Amino acid sequence: MKIEGLSHATVLTIMREVGLEGFKKFETAKQFASWLRLAPNNKISGGKVLSNKIPKGSNRLKIALRNAANAIGNLKDTQLSDFFRRVAYRKGRATAVSATARKLAMILWNMITKGIQYNPPMEYLFLDQKRKLRMVTKIKKSIAKFELKPDDLGFADASLSAIL
């Protein structure tokens, strides 16, 4: 229940459809996601990608994970909801639901087979933070290049001069 978006019904569906021992039948998380039909079916011929659609087919666990992924899409300020929004911005909500459901399947497989707790990365730099960091770095380089001091720039506040 530590994973955001998972409800009691989803956990019960996981236990009913796969069980704890069922996860161990798959050697990797990728095989588990493929069995759920959440992994793309890449068709490649001569090095050219012909198709990479998710194969048709459904089961109760796939539906439960997709419902949980859809609920994650409505959350705010969580690691999985940020992932959902990034994918939805590029590819659309339907693709984001599938991608997030696959990510949930990978997390579940790793939690159950390896016995590790779910710890979302808290210190991840999101796109806005990355852009700000790049901009500050660029400004610092420009100031160093022209050998400017905080007084020359008009920074009277000590906190702003501490940044530079």
Residues 107 and 145 in one domain: no
pLDDT tens track for 108-120: 888 888 888 887 7
Q: Is residue 135 part of a domain?
A: yes
Query: Can you say whether the dihedral through the CA atoms of 157, 159, 160, 162 is positive or negative?
Result: positive
In a domain, 148, yes or no: yes
> Has residue 120 been placed in a domain?
no
Residue 81 CA to residue 67 CA, distance in Å, equals 14
Q: Let me know if residue 121 belongs to a domain.
A: no
Are 79 and 143 found together in one domain? no
Q: Which domain holds residue 14?
A: 8-114
Q: Is the pLDDT of residue 158 over 70?
A: no
- 45 and 85 in a single domain? The answer is yes
Based on the fold, state whether residues 24 and 91 are members of the same structural domain: yes
The pLDDT assigned to 101 comes to 92
**In a 10 Å sphere around its CB, with 0-12 CB exposed, 13-18 middle and 19+ buried, how is residue 115 labelled?**
exposed
Q: Do 24 and 74 reside in the same domain of the chain?
A: yes
Examine the fold and report which residue of 114, 135, 153 is the final residue of a domain before the chain moves on.
Answer: 114
- pLDDT tens-place string over residues 71-111: 988 888 788 888 899 899 998 999 899 999 999 999 988 88
Tell whether 86 and 25 lie within a shared domain: yes
- CA 72 to each of CA 44, 49, 82, 126, 143: distance values in angstroms, whole numbers, following the listed order: 32, 30, 9, 17, 43
* Cα–Cα dist 106/44, whole Å: 24
State whether 65 and 140 are in the same domain: no
The pTM score is 0.68
The share of the chain scoring above pLDDT 90, in percent, equals 13
Q: How many domains does the chain have?
A: 2
* 153, 85: one domain: no
Length of the chain: 164
Whether 54 and 85 map to the same domain: the answer is: yes
